[in-house]
Structure formats: structure tokens, C-alpha cells
Amino acid sequence: MNVLESSGLGKRYGSTWALRDCTLAIPAGHVVALVGPNGAGKSTLLNLLAGLATPSAGSLAVLGGQPPGSPAALDGIAFVAQDTPLYKQLSAADMLHLTRNLNRHFDQATAEARLAGLGIPLKRRAGRLSGGQQAQLALTLALARRPRLLVLDEPVAMLDPVARHDFMATVLTAAVDDGVSVLLSSHVLAELERVADYLILMSRGRVQVAGEVDDLLAHHRVLTGPAHEAGRYGELLSVVHARHGAAQAHLLVRTNAATLSVPHGWEAHPVGLEELALAYLRVPDAAALPGPSRRRDAEPSEVTT
């Protein structure tokens, strides 16, 4: 089952396209990192799949073919927006009561036990909780609905490192123990690298790269070699991004070949998720790159060096 499937999806506000030609098929069971700069179209995509906006072009289905915003989709998707939506004057207990009454399914006992384990008093007003506690309360309300897909829009942007770590640990536990699929938008690439196993990279309203993290990393390498040869090999290899020093050049390259032929005098190194994402985000017009997500005629083979 695909938790999200889109074809040519687009959203326009006036004459401006916030999202264009978005074609995705995300299988269930993944923690998906949605990465991109401000204005890339991430929040627009999340609002569309949550049924908070309607497409201007293309098609979109969630949870194995359900229309976004339909009763079945609303029951199966929990969405936590960027500003941690809570009524600040209500207590944590009041927020549990309100959320239970607004949803057809809500696990009150699990929610209360989770807040107790986190040391969050039920009688304390949401506005008097710390930023980390407010984020955990919003996440508890979402998870208590027993969703099949948990959607999080920049949930850790305002949290300190400890609160951020604890929040992400909870998300990962829900994914592993409860089988919840997660779609997580964030700028904190270091945290995403720890939990995500699927990547969607967006820029300028378009999807640039999409796929399982292990596959994407397996088909990219960093080549390090003499700077004066960088231009020569840049023409022979599929270079995503290049950094040039006085003596050495660093080329992040993409390959679909069974093996990567390393030029004499050069070295190949594995690439991490953060390095890969930053490389694509630095490309002036990444839409022109036929990356793994855009090559639907052939599946990349394993890369060895």
C-alpha cells in the first residue's frame, strides 16, 4: 500500500505555483524525510495530503487510494502543524477531552499514560508548558488517534537539542512499535539522518530526488582528486555538485552503473544523507538533473568502489 500517490500534482496561488508536476509513490512503513529550503513547496504538499487544500492540477490519493479529506483519510491521518496547535488556556486534560470528542477514535488511556511518563501534569495549562512539553502534548494527541500516517510539519524547529532528541525518539518508537508511517518535514538534517529511511528532496516547488535512503546513498559517491582534472572528469561523470580548492576538488557524483570507475589519482568516499541533501539543494536548477527518482526507465544497480 502507498500512503501517498500523486501524479502531476500542482497547487497554484494566484499566478504563483507553490507546487508543480509532483509525481510520487511512497510505500507504507517508512519514516519519510521531506527536505527543502523555505518556499520549496513542502508545506503545500503536506496541506494537500491532509485535505487542508485542494489541487490546482494533477491527482493525489492517500492511504491506498483514499481522497484527501475524505472520512477514511481523516480517520487514518494525524497532522501536527509547525506551530504546535494547542489551545494555550486549556489544560493538558482539557486538550485530551477536546481531541477525544472531535475524533471517532482516541486512545485516552494510552495518552494519559504517555503524558504521565513524560512528567507532563494533566492539570497544567498548555501555555504554561515548556516548548518541548507542548510539542510532546501535540504529538500525544496525534498518536492517541491511532493513525496509519503521521504527518509532521517542522515539529522540532523551536526545540532545544534535548527536547528535539526526545521528540524524534518518540516518533521513531511509534514507527517501529506501532507500525505508523511517518512523513516529516524538517530543516534539521542531522536529526533526519538518524531516523529517516526514505527521502523526498524539494526545491522551487518541484520534487528533485525521492527514494529509499539506502538506495540513494548507494548510488552517490564523493570523488576527491587533483583540482586541475576536475573539469575533465566532470564531463565524463554525472556530477551533482563540485567544490574546488587550490589543490583538490571534491565531486559528488551519481551513477546507475554496476560499478563506479574511479579515475587514477582519485579516491571515492561514501556520502551521508546530510551531505547528499545539501549537494542537491546547492544546485542552481536541480530540476534539470535526471536523478534516481526521475529515471523511471531503469532501476539503478548497486555501486561498488
CATH number, domain of 8, equals 3.40.50.300
Question: What residues have CB less than 8 Å from 217, skipping those under 6 apart?
Answer: 270, 271, 272, 273, 276
pTM of the model: 0.83
pLDDT at position 255, please?
79
Strands 267-269 and 206-212, by their bridges, are unpaired
Helix, strand or coil for residue 267? strand
Domain around 277: 219-294
Q: Residue 170: inside a domain, yes or no?
A: yes
Residue numbers in the chain where pLDDT is lower than 50: 286-305
pLDDT at position 85, please?
77
Give the C-alpha separation, 294 to 278, whole Å.
Answer: 18
Count of structural domains, the chain: 2
Q: Residue 303: inside a domain, yes or no?
A: no
pLDDT at position 303, please?
31
Output the nine-digit C-alpha cell for 154.
517542522
Give yes or no: residues 229 and 196 share one domain.
no
Give yes or no: residues 158 and 258 share one domain.
no
Query: CA-CA distances (angstroms) from residue 174 to 25, 45, 63, 199?
Result: 22, 23, 17, 19
Helix, strand or coil for residue 238? strand
Question: What residues have CB less than 8 Å from 173, skipping those under 6 apart?
Answer: none
- Over the range 78-103, which residues count as b (16 or more CB within 10 Å of their CB) and which as e? bbbbeebebeeeebbeebbeebbeee
Q: Residue 33: inside a domain, yes or no?
A: yes
Give yes or no: residues 277 and 143 share one domain.
no
Domain boundary among 185, 213, 241: 213
Give yes or no: residues 285 and 145 share one domain.
no
Q: Residue 185: inside a domain, yes or no?
A: yes
pLDDT per position as a tens digit, 110-125: 999 999 999 999 999 9
Indicate the helix (H) or strand (E) that contains 150: strand 149-153
Residue 24 CB neighbour total at 10 angstroms = 18
Give yes or no: residues 121 and 78 share one domain.
yes
Domain boundary among 163, 183, 213: 213
pLDDT at position 37, please?
87
Q: Residue 301: inside a domain, yes or no?
A: no
* 273, 303 contact by CB (below 8 A): no
Domain boundary among 182, 213, 244: 213
pLDDT at position 285, please?
53
Output the nine-digit C-alpha cell for 44.
503545500
For cell 517508512, what's the residue?
30
